[in-house]
Amino acid sequence: MVCRLGRPLLCIMIATWFACILAAYDVTPDAKPLVELFEARYRAAHTLQATFLERYTESSRVVRVEAGTAYFRRPGKMRWEYEAPEKNLFLVDGKTAWFYVPADHTATRVPARMSADWRTPMALLAGEMKVSRVCGGVQLAALEKAESPGNVVLYCEIRAVGARSQKSDSTETSSQRGEAAEAVFFEIVKRTGDLARVVVKDSGGVGIEFQFSNWKADPLLSDALFRFSPPQGVAIVNGELPSGIGSVNP
């Protein structure tokens, strides 16, 4: 898991998914109907379920691949069950984010809004499903290509980047600025709005990619699925914010 292995977490960038909610929102005309389709596809569902494949890269080199099943429930709950290459659990119960490593008999907890874990961008699916809450601007991606025919990739200018750009030139649109080195991409099925892939990239060459399949809308999910009950003998560790998060300036 990201936190346990001590990988770079892009703390400032990921923290803005929860901390920065600005008024400005710029979506290009060609991207607008796709954003609306994407939002509509998931907004009506109270619960969601999908299988996922996660790739972590450094300098375009894949250093780890993990797979499992993800569950989402509104408001603000999600559960990521990792099955391969080892069993791990990432769970947000609405208030607390838990990282459980069965092999280590250890569970780490941190307030959900302070979690800098890579999976937190997908909290969009457990919230109001408003792309404007996480993206300062959206346009069709020019550099990131869709992996499957019939899909389209949307470039999301994350709000921290957008805030810096707008300070430098408030009259410049996201399409004029182009795609930043720190970016988030959503690959969606053009016909249905299904989320096929999420890619997060850092200017330092660190990235993570989630591929999704087998989406289920409103599956019957037990409330217990979104509660973490530590097994007997598991040590509970209070997590700490990595340096830099506290200095975020929305």
Task: Count Cα neighbours of 100 within 13 Å in the Cβ-side half-sphere.
Answer: 22
Assigned domain for 99 exists:
yes
Assigned domain for 155 exists:
yes
Give how many domains the chain has, as a whole number: 1
Q: What's the rounded mean pLDDT across residues 91-115?
A: 86
Q: Is the pLDDT confidence value at 11 over 60?
A: no
By the 8 A CB rule, do 47 and 222 touch?
A: no
Q: Of 168 and 247, which is predicted with more confidence?
A: 168
Reported as a pLDDT band with limits 50, 70 and 90, residue 205 is confident
Q: What's the rounded mean pLDDT across residues 128-144?
A: 86
Q: Of 139 and 22, which is predicted with more confidence?
A: 139
pLDDT at 72: 93
Q: In the chain, pLDDT over 90 holds for what percent of residues? A: 45
Assigned domain for 71 exists:
yes
- Bond before 75 cis per omega within 30 degrees: yes
Q: Is the pLDDT confidence value at 167 over 50?
A: no
Q: How far apart are CA 211 and CA 227, in angstroms?
A: 25
E-assigned strands of the chain? 26-27, 47-58, 61-73, 77-84, 88-92, 96-101, 106-111, 135-140, 151-158, 183-189, 195-201, 206-217, 235-238
Q: How far apart are CA 97 and CA 77, in angstroms?
A: 9
Domain that holds residue 111: 12-215
Query: CA torsion sign, 126 to 112 to 114 to 100?
Result: negative
Q: What's the rounded mean pLDDT across residues 139-151?
A: 91
pLDDT at 114: 63
pLDDT at 227: 94
Question: How far, CA to CA in Å, does 207 sit from each of 8, 57, 174, 194, 211?
Answer: 9, 5, 22, 22, 13
Q: Which of 125, 109, 113, 94 is nearest to 18 (CA)?
A: 113
Crossing angle (nearest 10°) for helices 159-168 and 11-19: 90
- For the chain, counts of helices (H) and of strands (E): 5, 13
Assigned domain for 111 exists:
yes
Assigned domain for 181 exists:
yes
Cα-based angle 196, 162, 176 (whole degrees, multiple of 5): 85
Q: Is the pLDDT confidence value at 170 over 60?
A: no
Q: How far apart are CA 6 and CA 136, in angstroms?
A: 29
Looking at residue 209, which CATH number applies to its domain?
A: 2.50.20.10
